[in-house]
Structure 1
């Protein structure tokens, strides 16, 4: 009888442990069928890698069915993007863009609304380096793409780099089915500099000044944007959804 009682106690403890494990898992990962049914996929596509952190909101499966974790649980994790998707929220009547992210070691992943993501600042004296950037002499390539962007910003003296506008410029430079491309919000100015050459030819920075002049933005006009916020991206692929390699997208918005 004593052995039977001990056996019952062991089973009871085992059930208790399993119950605690289930509670812990549920706290971090929860499924909601109603949430999944409340959205409709508009498009989903790969994107360039960008580094972000997130301390608000949550991380979900690709159709929001499973909530993996709240972002305040992983405030120090650096997330790297590899895809994005647009979801139509049926009950709210508007769209939302989610980025698919992974941790550096690949152990964590999921979809986070881009409004919750904050760009990770580059290490080192970024401000002073940007202030002294000279016009790159080489052709556009992955190694000097950031130099091209920094030099383009210098053509708009006194402007303030804006992470939100950089994301909009990125969506325009890498559009998905032309949904994101060339969207311009209220009070915003978008300058789209089209590469006049074919995609397989090198694109040099010096051409941007000429393109700006042709577009009606000589130095005297660009100087008037001092104090405005700016976001820049350059398409560095090989012809994608209407964007050509070397196309530059410059978003400008007055300071609030």
Structure 2
């Protein structure tokens, strides 16, 4: 008789059962309850809430600032990861550890700190005021707060991929006459692109639902700096739970659509990279 191969983890059926139960309790059931609660409104009332001028403007602010912050983080997060991987300098480990600070720092503390720094009488804000640059209580301030909490996602996604890139490939391209720019664009960047898109999507998704670090620096001025999570909280404070879930449903659907598009781009980039190989 052939001895059965021992597995460290349970079999497929038991593992799948635990996975399904865990995902149902933490993800599927809470999301389904959002839709169930919203269904009590009816289609007419639902569209009245989610298409009101104030709510639509909050959607625009949330998605525009989250996208802008994620795009900035994609650029500077790549640069930060590059410096940490390719160079050695005093204090490198300390700076590397500080990248994860937004994960541990309470979001309200981050919001208060940024507001204090960038208000008109803050350390940085009073230097920008003569240049007619206002950060606090503007969409720019919201983007700054979202960039702060989203940077670790990009750095931590790109950093391990950059570490695994074989330097022999770069040396081979250099020996064939490729310039530094060509090596980066043709050899390094295609390998980093899937990880960079993953970091961008995570930072974007986090920015859409962020509340604590944004609510202070935004100022919450109607039709100017109100974000969608703030409108949800306003509905909840008014005990309008169905209205809050209606806004949440729209945010959920649009976020899901954006993530699908990003994942499609990721798949395309991977296939394009394999096709070149």
Question: Does the alignment reach a TM-score above 0.5?
Answer: no
Q: Which has the higher strand share?
A: 1
Q: Which has the higher helix share?
A: 2
Larger relative contact order (Cα-Cα within 8 Å, sequence gap ≥ 6):
2
Report the TM-score when normalising by structure 1.
0.25
Bigger radius of gyration among the two: 1
